[in-house]
């Protein structure tokens, strides 16, 4: 989706370059790159080095709205930086705008759109266009994220894994729960895991003790979010 948005924006805004990332944290930085008309090797250098010496993007990210790069730093000052001379100019990027999308406090994607030095800079109308498209972009990404969360929650393996993590089950206890929830008998579980039936039952007792449940039926209902009538 981000690439399709980029293609349309390049045409609509008479721009030359597009990049999009998802920001994870100060430690992990920008991830999940999508780009158009930019050198992959140069972007790899950005991910390794230049993003940590980038004087504009952190401030742009905090704006949460369409913002011209020169609202953050004057063009003459930007041109004096290592970031501009050794990263932006290497690909020909000169005039830029950003839009950063959030779902609550979670950064879900951004739009970085640039023109080359032979074009005029973006004007206020361009910023307004990016704001309108960026808002729709943000809504679409939030909807997609919500769908992915619901899809993950519907996956029984994911539900068991998350539940086991909350209760601090051991890896073997988790394996036994997965097979028990699939309807496998104690003997089948023992054969699948290469352990004795007695050991299977010991693991199940431990699971019941940690969870406060007392039967497989209660375990199945609990993990599936069901309540007894």
What pLDDT does 145 receive? Answer: 75
Confidence of residue 73 (pLDDT cuts 50, 70, 90): very high
Q: Could you identify the residue written with the tokens 């032979």?
A: 118
End-to-end CA distance of the chain: 44
Return the closest-CA partner of residue 57 out of 93, 79, 83.
83
The Cα–Cα gap between 218 and 228 comes to 8
Residues 6+ apart with CB under 8 A from 193: 172, 175, 176, 179, 200
Examine domains 2-152 and 155-223 and report if their fold is the same.
Answer: no
Q: Exposed/middle/buried for 165, CB within 10 Å: 0-12, 13-18, 19+?
A: exposed
Angle at 157 between CA 182 and CA 214, to 5 degrees: 55
Please state the domain extents for the chain: 2-152, 155-223
Using alpha carbons only, how large is the chain's radius of gyration in Å?
25
Q: Could you identify the residue written with the tokens 């007392």?
A: 214
pLDDT, tens only, 106-145: 999 999 999 999 999 999 999 999 999 999 999 999 887 7
Confidence of residue 25 (pLDDT cuts 50, 70, 90): confident
Q: Which fold has domain 155-223?
A: Arc Repressor Mutant, subunit A (1.10.10)
pLDDT, tens only, 176-216: 998 988 888 999 999 999 999 999 999 999 999 999 998 88
- Model confidence, pTM: 0.67
Tokens coding 219: 């375990």
What pLDDT does 154 receive? Answer: 59
The Cα–Cα gap between 36 and 134 comes to 17
Helices 171-181, 186-193: axis angle to 10 degrees equals 130
Q: Is domain 2-152 classified as CATH 3.90.1150.10?
A: no
* Adjacent-strand bridge partners of 99: 111
């Amino acid at each position: 989706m981000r690439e399709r948005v980029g293609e349309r924006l390049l045409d609509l805004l008479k721009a030359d370059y597009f990049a999009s990332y998802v920001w994870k944290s100060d430690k992990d930085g920008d991830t999940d790159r999508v780009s158009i008309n930019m050198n992959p090797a140069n972007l790899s250098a950005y991910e390794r080095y230049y993003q940590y010496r980038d004087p504009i993007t952190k401030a742009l990210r905090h704006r949460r709205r369409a913002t011209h790069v020169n609202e953050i730093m004057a063009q003459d000052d930007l041109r004096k930086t290592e970031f501009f001379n050794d990263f932006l100019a290497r690909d020909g990027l000169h005039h830029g705008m950003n839009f950063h999308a959030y779902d609550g406090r979670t950064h879900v994607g951004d739009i970085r759109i640039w023109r080359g030095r032979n074009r005029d800079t973006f004007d206020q109308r361009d910023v307004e266009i990016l704001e309108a498209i960026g808002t729709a972009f943000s809504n679409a990404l939030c909807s997609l994220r919500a769908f992915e969360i619901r899809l993950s929650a519907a996956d029984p393996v994911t539900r068991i894994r998350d539940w086991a993590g909350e209760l601090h089950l051991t890896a073997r206890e988790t394996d036994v729960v997965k097979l028990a929830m699939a309807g496998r008998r104690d003997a089948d579980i023992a054969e699948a895991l290469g352990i004795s039936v007695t050991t299977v039952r010991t693991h199940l007792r431990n699971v019941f003790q940690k969870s406060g449940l007392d039967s497989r039926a209660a375990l199945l209902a609990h993990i599936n979010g069901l309540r007894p009538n």
